């Protein structure tokens, strides 16, 4: 995932933003030895949805934030282990893999707990003669930990009652302290072996691989006593036997602190800082364990690499763009305030659509444009230039669109009519969804204002939209520091815009910028269809005092 480069347009994406991102990612994947993935920074509008469906193209996945995530950290992909393994097995595995924490998982990779080296060493410092029975330790764990073998008894049995006792004293004293179900560590004296069986010991551990007579073995079999022989002496056995308990007895299983790969590092950093835990389990979208991360992983975290398409201003970019590494920009808007920490490829041309530039890049790289990509690029140009009616449209835009239409095998006028009709068919959407479908923020000095736009070839559709949107503008004015709100209801056929607005100073701004007296918070701007080239520049001139 860290090797991917994301190609992404602006918030509230339009057809150009989406289609150009898809096309550029395709081109890059054909010409560069990296993985480029098209993404979107907002919801797709009705027009773009129509275009994607028409050309059989899947919409890019949603990427709301460019901030670093857990997936961008160096996740330690150490497999989880069963909670039934012995502490010794866990310790040896951690030593071999230079790990200080081990996750315990079930057969379906669901996390059940974690154990750390400090958990293990801490247990070694405590004395509890009943720790093995309380942990319900399998006799096979005991034999394996002591590098011995079970010579009598149920190999699948469990030591679940009694204490661990070293029978180093004389038989009379041992008999005084030895209780039924105890585990007793003995030497090579047959008298001690017999005494332990008679007293009902559940297990006898014989050190130094001392022999146990067949008579006592048979007696132990009858009494249900397990006999284990080990090459270690009594001291070593007593020291090692604690390591035979199952990990489940020591692991932390309640109130586990886990993170998901999708979690943003801004969220997890303070959580990590409030606990002494050094390694934290990481889960995937299905809550399955995938590895661990630690605080030191913040030191070499990899920023997301992104290519910005159809915008170059921070206010229009994906959230937390300053946490990402911008490696390239392809745009046709004015140059804004996106900063980089090193030189990058920055392609900005005065054309009507980013898709026109992308087509040039295909030609420069000598890559043939597939039919579906040609259709997407052509649709983007028709959308951005309002089928060549926008003043932003250049002869190059028109020439490229006609060429792409031939490759995509579409009739420009027929297709454009269907596309714009789909884009203005917003009856099933809420005013909020319509409002933010194509809405952009602009800043002039200390004034922040927003401008939305809907284009249609049918005046009746625009009239209906005006009735629905007008009340919503008032509720949105003042939010997110926006002082004035404008919305363009653009009639493609008449090449005019009815501008509705709200906010202190909005009417005065229109008067100074366009010489029109607005009434009832609306006015008609003849010949104005482009937000970028016709509406915004006069407004900015007034607000910046450059008259």
Residue 418 and residue 438 in one domain? no
Distances (CA, A) of 399 to 23, 249, 338, 382, 403: 18, 74, 31, 12, 6
**Domain-embedded: residue 265:** no
Among 423, 450, 475, which residue terminates a domain? 423
CATH number, position 535: 3.10.310.20
Residue 342: name the closest of 315, 301, 303 by CA: 303
Q: In this structure, is residue 112 part of a structural domain?
A: no
Residue by residue, DSSP assigns 297-362 as: GGTTPPPPEEEEES---GGGSPBTGGGSEEEEEEE-S-------SS--EEEE-SSS-HHHHHHHHH
* Range(s) of the domain holding residue 229: 136-244
Sheet containing strand 149-152, strands side by side: 149-152, 226-229, 203-206, 183-186, 164-166
Same domain, 358 and 412: yes
Measured CA to CA, the distance from residue 1 to residue 80 in angstroms comes to: 22
Q: Would you state the pLDDT for residue 292? A: 94
Q: How far apart are CA 224 and CA 434, in angstroms?
A: 79
Burial 233-266 (b: 16+ CB within 10 A, else e): ebeebbebbbbbbbbbbbbeeeeeeebebebbbe
Q: Judge if 356 and 413 occupy the same domain.
A: yes
Tokens 């363009």 locate to 488
Q: Check whether residue 419 and residue 438 sit in a common domain.
A: no
Instruction: Give the number of other CB atoms < 10 A from CB of residue 428.
Output: 7
Domain check: are 406 and 489 in the same one? Answer: no
Q: How many domains does the chain have?
A: 3
Q: Is residue 120 in a domain? A: no
Distance set, CA 39 to CA 7, 339, 409, 434 (Å): 6, 21, 27, 22
Pairwise CA distance, residues 412 & 420, whole Å:
12
How far is Cα 325 from Cα 5, in angstroms, rounded to an integer? 10
Q: What is the DSSP letter of 125?
A: T
What is the block-wise mean pLDDT of the chain (547 residues), using blocks of 10 residues?
86 94 98 96 92 97 92 90 96 93 95 93 83 96 97 96 90 86 94 94 96 96 96 95 95 93 91 86 95 86 93 90 94 85 93 97 97 98 93 95 98 93 77 84 89 83 85 82 92 90 93 91 92 92 76
* Helix orientation angle between 395-408 and 371-384, rounded to the nearest 10 degrees: 140
User: Both 328 and 376 in a single domain?
Assistant: yes
Q: CA 393, CA 395: separation in Å to the nearest integer? A: 7
Which CATH number fits the domain that encloses residue 154? Answer: 3.40.1390.20
Residues 307 and 419 in one domain: yes
Q: Are residues 407 and 456 in the same domain?
A: no
Is residue 172 within 8 A of residue 165, CB to CB? The reply is no
527 shares a domain with 489? yes
Mutual angle of helices 412-424 and 395-408, in 10-degree steps: 100
Residue 187 lies in a domain: yes
Question: What is the distance between the alpha carbons of residues 38 and 330, in angstroms, rounded to a whole number?
Answer: 14
Residue 30 maps to which CATH number? Answer: 3.90.1640.10
Residues 388, 437 share a domain: no
Last residue of a domain, one of 193, 227, 244: 244
Beta-carbon count within 10 A of 285 CB: 8
Q: Report yes or no: 133 and 163 within 8 Å, Cβ to Cβ.
A: yes
The reported pLDDT for the residue numbered 89 is 96
Q: Clarify whether residues 403 and 471 are in a common domain.
A: no
Q: Is residue 125 part of a domain?
A: no
CA 506 → CA 32, 372, 425, 443, 484, distances in Å? 48, 43, 28, 14, 6
Last residue of a domain, one of 371, 395, 423: 423
Q: What pLDDT does residue 547 have?
A: 43
The DSSP-derived string for 207-268 is STT----HHHHHHHHHHT-EEEE-SS-HHHHHHHGGGGSBGGGTSB-SS---EETTSBHHHH
Residue 292 resides in a domain: no
Please report whether residue 59 resides in a domain: yes
Domain identity same for 162 and 221: yes
Which burial class, exposed, middle or buried, applies to 180 when counting CB atoms under 10 A from its CB (0-12, 13-18, 19+)?
A: exposed
Residue 128 maps to a domain: no
pTM above 0.85, yes or no: no
């Amino acid at each position: 995932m860290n090797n991917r480069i994301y190609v992404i347009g602006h918030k509230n994406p339009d057809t150009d933003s989406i289609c150009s991102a898809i096309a550029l990612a395709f081109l890059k994947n054909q010409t560069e030895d990296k993985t480029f993935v098209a993404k979107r920074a907002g919801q797709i509008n009705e027009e773009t949805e129509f275009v994607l469906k028409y050309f059989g193209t899947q919409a890019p996945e949603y990427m709301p934030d460019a901030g670093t995530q857990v997936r961008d950290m160096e996740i330690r992909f150490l497999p989880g282990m069963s909670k039934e393994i012995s502490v010794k097995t866990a310790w040896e595995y951690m030593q071999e893999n230079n790990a200080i924490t081990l996750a315990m998982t079930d057969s379906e990779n669901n996390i059940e707990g974690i154990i750390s080296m400090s958990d293990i060493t801490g247990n070694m410092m405590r004395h509890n003669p009943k720790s093995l029975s309380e942990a319900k330790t399998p006799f096979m764990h005991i034999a394996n930990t002591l590098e011995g073998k079970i010579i009598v008894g149920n190999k699948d049995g469990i030591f679940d009652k009694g204490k661990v006792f070293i029978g180093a004293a004389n038989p009379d004293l041992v008999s005084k302290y030895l209780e039924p179900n105890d585990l007793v560590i003995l030497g090579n004296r047959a008298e001690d072996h017999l005494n332990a069986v008679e007293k009902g010991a559940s297990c006898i551990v014989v050190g130094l691989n001392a022999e146990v007579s067949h008579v006592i073995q048979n007696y132990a079999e009858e009494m249900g006593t397990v006999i284990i022989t080990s090459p270690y002496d009594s001291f070593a056995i007593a020291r090692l036997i604690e390591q035979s308990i199952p990990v489940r007895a020591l692991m932390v299983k309640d109130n586990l602190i886990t993170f998901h790969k999708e979690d943003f590092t801004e969220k997890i950093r303070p959580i990590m800082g409030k606990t002494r835990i050094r390694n934290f389990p990481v889960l995937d979208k299905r809550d399955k364990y995938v590895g661990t991360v630690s605080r030191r992983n913040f030191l070499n975290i990899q920023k997301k690499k992104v290519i910005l398409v159809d915008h170059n201003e921070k206010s229009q970019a994906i959230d937390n763009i300053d946490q990402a590494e911008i490696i390239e920009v392809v745009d046709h808007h004015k140059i804004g305030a996106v900063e980089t920490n090193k030189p990058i490829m920055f392609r900005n041309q005065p054309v009507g659509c980013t898709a026109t530039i992308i087509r040039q890049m295909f030609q420069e790289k000598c890559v043939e444009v597939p039919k579906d990509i040609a259709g997407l690029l052509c649709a983007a140009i028709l959308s951005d230039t309002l089928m060549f009616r926008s003043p932003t449209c250049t002869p190059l835009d028109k020439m490229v669109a006609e060429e792409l239409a031939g490759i995509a095998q579409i009739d420009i006028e027929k297709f454009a009519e269907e596309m714009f009709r789909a884009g203005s068919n917003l009856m099933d959407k809420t005013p909020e969804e319509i409002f933010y479908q194509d809405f952009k923020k602009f800043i002039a000095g200390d004034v922040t204002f927003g401008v939305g736009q809907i284009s249609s070839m049918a005046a009746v559709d625009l009239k209906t939209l005006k009735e629905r949107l007008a009340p919503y503008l008032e509720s949105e004015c003042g939010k997110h520091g926006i002082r004035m709100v404008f919305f363009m209801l653009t009639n493609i056929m008449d090449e005019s815009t009815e501008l509705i607005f709200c906010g202190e100073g909005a009417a005065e701004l229109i008067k100074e910028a366009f010489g029109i007296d607005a009434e009832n918070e609306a006015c008609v701007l003849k010949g104005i269809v482009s937000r970028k080239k016709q509406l915004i520049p006069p407004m900015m001139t007034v607000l910046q005092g450059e008259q």
